[in-house]
Structure 1
Amino acid sequence: MQLSLIVFVVSIDLLSTCIPAPPVTAERKCAFLASARNTEKAQRGGNVSGGVQHCARTNCCMGFFQLEHGQARADLLGCSAVASSCPESSCRAAKPVKNYVECLCSSDFCNLNITWNDQANHSQPSHTSDQLIVICFTGFAGALTMLTVLTVLMVLCLINPEKWKLFKDCRPPHACDIQKEADIDLLSIELQKVVSRGHFACVWQGFFQGSLVALKVFPAIQRQEFIKEKDIYLLPSMMHSGIVQFLGGGRMNKDFVLILELATQGSLNKFISINVCNWAATLKLAQTLSQGLAYLHSDSDKNGVRKPVIAHCDLSSGNVLVKADGTCALCDFGCSVVLQHPRNQHVLQGHPNATEQDRNQMGTLCYMSPEILEGCVNLNSGQCLLQGDVYSLGLLLWELLVRCSDLCKDSAVPTHMLPYEAELGTSPSLEELLGLVLEQRTRPTFPPHWDPQHQGFCLQELLEDCWDHDPDARLTAQCAADRLASLPLNLVQ
């Protein structure tokens, strides 16, 4: 046992010298082991230093073990990536499902050893702690070998690109499709209730790995819509508090599932329709909403990882979620378009087969900017899509701010309404919106109690600068976020 522990520690130190990691704070430490197909997602639970993961999101270690011929083989070890309840300090095995067992525990490196309970006794493998540690060490050694192979391949790529091309051509057929459809084990998913229904998918509340999550379920016929949205979530540096957290995706029976962070307050549309907020709560929603869009639109390069510019293209109060802490997070990226900046020119990416007519009809009708409603957009430049998002942001901020009780001191808070609902009803046609928004240049009306001498003046100016008829005169998302960030927490009367 002591010898095995020494080997385990040495293997961690050896890997640490090969894979440098940023400094981490003293938090829960878990043994880390992941295969190539799930390494990226497993790393979202916290920073990895060799064979150790320092938990950043929860205080729980997790382990997935495959049962083979009476033995338990570690398949995935690390920190739980979602909020989990793990009162047990030891790794107690759950009931086996299709030759897999999982566990959650709350002490350092507790996921190295399984404690078998009565529920799992009938499948208990005859292993020892020493054997399990050797299994883990074998995985760590395999990871080191893989790192060496990748390094050699990178050198070959630099020295002789033709050899690299030959190597790529030898990959197994349909490898990309297999990875996209089977990234994680979905055996432990439990659907509870339907949260919302959309055109392409249905969103459920459910359990995954013992935690409450949102499950966006696409029928088999909508496989391409599933892949399109999943590919957006998998872009580099999509982890941001203003964007709903992506936890994984895969196939469940005939359906395709995206596993997402559960926003307990539901959509912004639902939230503000049943809640009246004071100024502090309203400002928090508005600031985090604008910050999420500004990050989505940003072009950043951190530690060699480039985040591309992304246009949401369907920003509405139904596609913004409200989390338990009263902050907003963007979701539903099925219409989103990825942009790049070669020589400062925006180039559409990710939808090469879309026609011009398809692109002009992206989004929710009443939130579309005048130029997109008209179909008069320059698809050789993605700037118009970013400007369209800012127009939608202006409508969203109006929708949110008119429900603020502190802005209605001398009158009742107006009933929640969608943009242009007062003028055109709940389901306006394209022709009606073209006449009102494009030809008449009408915008949502401001409540009469907004006093231009106080806070209302700043807000009115902000909204008008977001939904300006001239796309080039509109604010950027970052400028809108900066203006909101400058507003005082205490409303001046």
Structure 2
Amino acid sequence: MNLTFQRVIVFGLLALLRFGATEGDSNLCAHRNVLPLNDFGSSSSSSSSSSSSTSSKSPDEPFQKWGGEILDDNLTIRCHRNIYCFTLWSTDPVNKSKVQVLKQGCWIGEPNVCIPGSCVSNMAPKNNSHFCCCSGDMCNENFTDGYDPDAHTTTPFIPSHPLQDDSYKIKTVIISLVSVISVALVIVVAYFGYRMCTRPKHPSTESLHPPESPPIQPEFDMNDLKLCNIVSKGRYAEVWKGKLEDQDVAVKIYSPHYREYYNNERTLYRLPYMEHEGLVRFFGADERITQEGSAQLMIVMSLVPLGSLNGYLKNNTLDWTTMVKMAYSVAKALSHLHTDIQKADQFKPVLAHRDLNTRNILVRPDLSCVVADLGFAIATMGSKLIKKGHAEVAEQTSLTDVGTLRYMAPELLDGAVNLRDCEASLKQIDIYALGLVLWEIATRCVDLYQGAPLPDYSPPFQTEIGSSPTFEEMQLMVVRAKKRPRFPEVWKETNQAVRSLKETIEECWDADAEARLTALCVEERLSELPNLWAHEIKHRGMTPTLNAMINITDTTTTSTTTTTTSDQPPTSATQ
């Protein structure tokens, strides 16, 4: 039970006790205390009268002693809970007109005993002492002896404890405690019920990879796959353009030395619910032995003809609509990876990409984007990582810090990744990289410069530390100095759409990992940008740039064969 929950119970107890003490209306009574509290009308208390205080008000006397709050004039008391007023007085046996008030104050009595409005004694006196009670403000200030011996046969009635009702106080305490316990039980049940309902339910990881499952059959006939030409070559793999029957495909071929990355990417693409508009389509994976006797580890995917986002941004600029479309499609794809999905016995865990950058994002002909290259990606559930179909506690296993250097989050550069909640930590690392990708896309948007010259394309931090930063340079820049890529000064803060875009980017690359947005939140914010932009145009008379895209290379044709996730693949520490 957390501290906030404990405070709720304590405050509830205090509120109930105070309610029990002040419930109902209050009235004023005349107050006087000549005799000690327990010394009138009772012979058993006479022995203690000499030691009792005769003062009418003492700051140390408890509230319950007087049944109310004595006011500053020391002659008036405010009674609570509709308590009645009373007066106890004595008359001289010889001179009946000589009267001495013994006590006045609050009285807990019955409605049929106390007279409304006036204090009249209808009871036989005892030892020349008279008693009356009444209801109404200051009704006991004036009192009268109305006892008629001929009309009454009742016995004298003198109160022994006019100001106290112990049974009533005990009942009040019991009711208060029962109420507090009841409220506490309701809160406890509601709290744990909420936790149970919101706790994510994950199936056993055995369903992801049964230990005795037979070898997976190839998804296509290798004889139907033809390799045409190489598109790009990196450290871990090379990408070819190929044909699968009559369809153009991209074939990623891993070297046998990097079988681990091949197995990982193949396994993740085969998970349920991995067919998504924001991901490249997976046709299958298989091994083939070349004529030279070496193994080719092949992953066959859909061909994305416009190539990587990095290459596209170098050679093209964007209008606002295209910029938002690209950014939104990337965020939507990452949101899908970061979401666990379970339907019946089919389960897709959370996937952290771990190497999100513009080289691993491809551009479709409609200028939306797809996320590719899951070689470094990993499945995770809470504090556990899923490796080879089995869950392992993250703190008890090795997790290599990977990624493209200039896109690495500060906690990666500082070696301070929180593995106790590795699911949240790995998603936050992806979000940091997403912020840099969004900045990179936005800096190529012509409309944001309002007619000013568009600067040349520049990846994150190139202006600050060049094209080939070292690990130490990135650590000093990102972790120590907490620097981030600069926003162009021409971007107007007064434009609500531009302000929302900047705030989204800044909240993605926040130095505090836990303060970063989720991928779903980024997706929702980016979906609102078109309406914000249209609102600005309508109310400010802005005219968006007519040229949707301006080719910077002055060439008449653009290569459409780029399909890989990187021309220069990422490494674990350097770019």
**TM-score of the superposed pair, with normalisation by structure 1:** 0.61
Q: Is 1:380 aligned to 2:420, yes or no?
A: yes
The gaps in structure 1 that reach 5 residues or longer are: 1-167
2:384–2:394 CA contact under 8 A, matched in 1: no
User: Which residue among 446, 461, 464 is the counterpart of 2:503?
Assistant: 461
| 1-structure distance, mates of 2:236, 2:396 | 21
Aligned mate of 1:240, from 251, 269, 276: 276
Of 242, 250, 265, which residue of structure 2 is paired with 1:214?
250
Contact 1:348 1:379 in 2 (8 A): no
Aligned equivalents of 2:247, 2:525: Cα separation in 1: 37
| Matches of 2:466 and 2:408, distance apart in 1 | 16
Query: Does the 8 Å contact 2:288/2:296 carry over to 1?
Result: yes
Which residue of 372, 377, 397 maps to 1:336?
Answer: 377
More helix per residue: 1
SS, match of residue 256 in structure 1: strand
Deviation digits for residues 138-160 of structure 1 (CA, Å, limit 9, x no counterpart):
xxxxxxxxxxxxxxxxxxxxxxx
Query: Whole-Å Cα distance in 1 between the matches of residues 398 and 407 of structure 2?
Result: 17
- Residue aligning to 1:191: 227
The residue type equivalent to 1:483 in the other structure is R
- Tell me the amino acid that sits aligned with residue 228 of structure 2: Q
> Take 2:307 and 2:490, find their aligned partners in 1: how far apart are those partners?
29
The amino acid that maps onto 1:472 is E
The residue number in structure 1 matching 2:444 is: 403
| 1:374-393 Cα deviation digits (max 9, x unpaired) | 11112232211100000000
Q: Alignment RMSD, CA only? A: 2.2
Indicate the residue corresponding to 1:452 in structure 2. 493
Larger mean Cα displacement after TM superposition, 346-355 or 455-464: 346-355
Which residue of structure 2 lines up, in the alignment, with residue 347 of structure 1? 384
| Residue 204 of structure 1: aligned partner | 240
Query: Are 2:405 and 1:365 equivalent residues in the alignment?
Result: yes
Which secondary structure does the structure 1 equivalent of 2:216 belong to? Answer: helix
Pick from 241, 265, 268 the counterpart of residue 306 of structure 2: 265
Asked if 1:474 corresponds to 2:527, the answer is no
Aligned to 1:35: none
Query: In the aligned structure 2, how far is the partner of 1:405 from the partner of 1:215?
Result: 35
Length, aligned pairs only? 316
* Aligned partners of 1:348 and 1:381 also within 8 Å: no
- Is 1:250 matched with 2:286? yes
Question: What is the CA distance between 1:458 and its match in structure 2?
Answer: 1.3
SS in 2 for 1:306: strand
Where structure 2 has 5 or more consecutive residues not aligned to the other structure, the ranges are 1-209, 290-294, 537-541, 543-575
Shift of 1:210: 0.9
Distance 1:358 1:264 in 2: 37
CA distance in structure 2 between the aligned counterparts of 1:328 and 1:361, rounded to whole angstroms: 26
Sequence identity (%): 35
**2:352–2:426: 8 Å Cα contact kept in structure 1?**
yes
User: Which of the pair has the greater relative contact order for Cα pairs under 8 Å at 6+ separation?
Assistant: 2
Partner in structure 1 of residue 337 of structure 2: 296
Q: 344, 348, 365: which one pairs with 1:324? A: 365
Partner of residue 262, structure 2? 226
Provide the rounded CA distance (Å) in 2 between the counterparts of 1:228 and 1:306. 17
AA matched with 1:389: D
Letter in 2 for 1:372: L
Q: Aligned AA for 1:235?
A: L
Q: Is the 8 A contact 2:231 2:240 kept in 1?
A: yes
Could you tell me how far 1:416 is from its partner in structure 2? 1.4
State whether residues 391 and 467 of structure 1, in contact with CA within 8 Å, keep that contact through their aligned partners in structure 2: yes
Give distance in 1, aligned partners of 2:393 and 2:316: 42
User: What's the secondary structure of 2:451's corresponding residue?
Assistant: coil
SS of the aligned residue for 2:483 comes to coil
> Which has the higher Rg, Structure 1 or Structure 2?
2
Residue 357 of structure 1 deviates from its aligned partner by 10
Following superposition, the deviation at residue 448 of structure 1 comes to 1.2
Please give the alpha-carbon distance, in whole angstroms, between the structure 1 residues aligned to 2:266 and 2:439. 30
One-letter identity of the residue aligned with 2:419: L
Pick the aligned partner of 1:179 from 213, 216, 226. 216
Deviation for aligned residue 1:195:
2.1
Cα separation, partners in 2 of 1:216 and 1:469, compared to 1, 3 Å: same
Q: CA 1:355 to 1:268, structure 2 compared with 1: closer, same or farther past 3 Å?
A: farther
